[in-house]
A = this chain, B = another copy of it.
């Protein structure tokens, strides 16, 4: 019997690399014991939420047991949370944002699908610098959108602006960027963002259907060595920012995020109303109310990012010692090193033979590299050193 649609059937056949590694990890941990497996495949923050999270939840406990304590809230989010987010985003983006320009969403993922549903006509294109988080393709593909990947410039992976400009067609509806970047750890510079915004503004000067500049920023809080993540909202009236509290508050499972549109967008209310509608009709209805209240209570808190900074150093040492080439990430918690031997999938297999789990660059639309998440305990990084060396030796001897 054909239980599922042909499109979903083919998507299942090509299940994501991250998922495959997740399953491989479970298998290896069963076989060898969790302490003998070095799992760098997942972007699940392992640092506990800020310690005041427990207090905040105790505070909510009495409140939720009242009538409407966990009832429906407006589809765009709790009004008081939207207000608080507007103030928070005004500081972050260096432009005055009103609550009316903010929609609270089920994570940044929910913001992306709601936005794509609101703006895409079937056949519209979404340009995205590669490597990129592969689910972006599914997010727009549900609604007939087509993701076009434009390789970024190694070794530091700033986007290739000339190539992006050359790829713009009448059907290009969204330019989707992600900084600090998953998987490269690159932080887009002020110069890069200005050039991208100028490109978008130039395109929009002659258009009736605007090209949107959409910046996905869940890792904004996590930049190293004093690196600054410049704001995009002031640069284009068609800029939008997505974010979430999954990483900075370690509450990825709670699914609270947001979309904010440039207040300079002509008729911005129409776009916000459309995203509010699609947020409802895609079945999100509203972001979970407990999570919204918790994020509001913790809005100015953050996990201890010095932990990630320390691990970045430790991971760099391990890679250097193994002779693996990489650019030190400026942000997020990923390395995207070159695959020794050049074949990322072969190197991933060599790592697996050492019980080391990582994701091939092919899983992010760019072969020849691999991604390591250093959202793991320090000891895992240190004890993985021998495995990396052995894997490099294995692919070298195979040549």
Interface 0/1 of A243-271, CB less than 8 Å to B:
00000011111110000000001110011
Complex Cα distance, B119 from A190, in Å, reads: 45
Within 1-60 of A, Cβ neighbours of B (below 8 Å) are at 1-6, 8-9, 11-12, 15, 42, 44-49, 51, 53-55, 57-58, 60
* Contact between chains at A57 and B49 (CB < 8 Å): no
Interface 0/1 of A302-342, CB less than 8 Å to B:
00000000000000000000000000000000000000000
- Contacting A57 at CB < 8 Å: which of B60, B267, B277? B60
- Contacting A68 at CB < 8 Å: which of B46, B66, B270? B46
In the complex, how many angstroms separate the beta carbon of A74 from the nearest chain B beta carbon?
Answer: 9
Report if A270-B4 is in contact (Cβ < 8 Å); known contacts: A135-B281, A139-B283.
yes
Counting from the closest, the 9 A-B pairs by CB-CB distance are A253-B289, A109-B283, A138-B281, A113-B283, A288-B288, A57-B61, A70-B251, A54-B65, A4-B274
Chain B residues near A54 (CB-CB < 8 A) = 61-62, 64-65
Which A residues have a C-beta under 8 Å from some C-beta of B?
1-6, 8-9, 11-12, 15, 42, 44-49, 51, 53-55, 57-58, 60-62, 64-73, 106-107, 109-114, 117-121, 135, 138-139, 142-143, 207-210, 249-255, 265-267, 270-271, 273-274, 277-278, 280-291, 294
- Contacting A72 at CB < 8 Å: which of B51, B110, B253, B266? B253
* Contact between chains at B71 and A250 (CB < 8 Å): yes
* Contact between chains at A282 and B285 (CB < 8 Å): no
Chain B residues near A69 (CB-CB < 8 A) = 48-49, 53, 250
Complex Cα distance, B118 from A11, in Å, reads: 10
Instruction: Identify 13 residue pairs between A and B in the complex whose beta-carbon atoms are under 8 Å apart, listed by A's number.
Output: A4-B271, A5-B121, A8-B274, A8-B277, A44-B68, A49-B64, A53-B61, A57-B290, A69-B250, A106-B284, A107-B285, A142-B142, A255-B285
Closest B residue to A7 using CB positions = B121
Closest B residue to A55 using CB positions = B61
* Contact between chains at A5 and B283 (CB < 8 Å): no
Closest B residue to A279 using CB positions = B283
* Contact between chains at B8 and A252 (CB < 8 Å): no
- Contacting A44 at CB < 8 Å: which of B45, B71, B112? B71
**Chain copies in complex:** 2
Report if A107-B283 is in contact (Cβ < 8 Å); known contacts: A45-B71, A250-B71.
yes
* Contact between chains at B274 and A12 (CB < 8 Å): yes
Chain B residues near A271 (CB-CB < 8 A) = 3-4
Chain B residues near A107 (CB-CB < 8 A) = 283, 285
Closest B residue to A134 using CB positions = B281
* Contact between chains at B110 and A283 (CB < 8 Å): yes
Report if A109-B285 is in contact (Cβ < 8 Å); known contacts: A47-B67, A49-B69.
yes
Chain B residues near A53 (CB-CB < 8 A) = 61, 64-65, 69-70
In the complex, how many angstroms separate the beta carbon of A76 from the nearest chain B beta carbon?
Answer: 12
* Contact between chains at B72 and A48 (CB < 8 Å): no
Closest B residue to A210 using CB positions = B1
* Contact between chains at B113 and A282 (CB < 8 Å): yes
Complex Cα distance, B70 from A249, in Å, reads: 9
Chain B residues near A209 (CB-CB < 8 A) = 1-2
Complex Cα distance, B3 from A282, in Å, reads: 19
* Contact between chains at A49 and B70 (CB < 8 Å): yes
* Contact between chains at A72 and B117 (CB < 8 Å): no
Chain B residues near A114 (CB-CB < 8 A) = 283
- Contacting A4 at CB < 8 Å: which of B66, B118, B287? B118
Report if A66-B48 is in contact (Cβ < 8 Å); known contacts: A107-B283, A139-B283.
yes
- Contacting A284 at CB < 8 Å: which of B138, B284, B291? B284
Chain B residues near A15 (CB-CB < 8 A) = 277
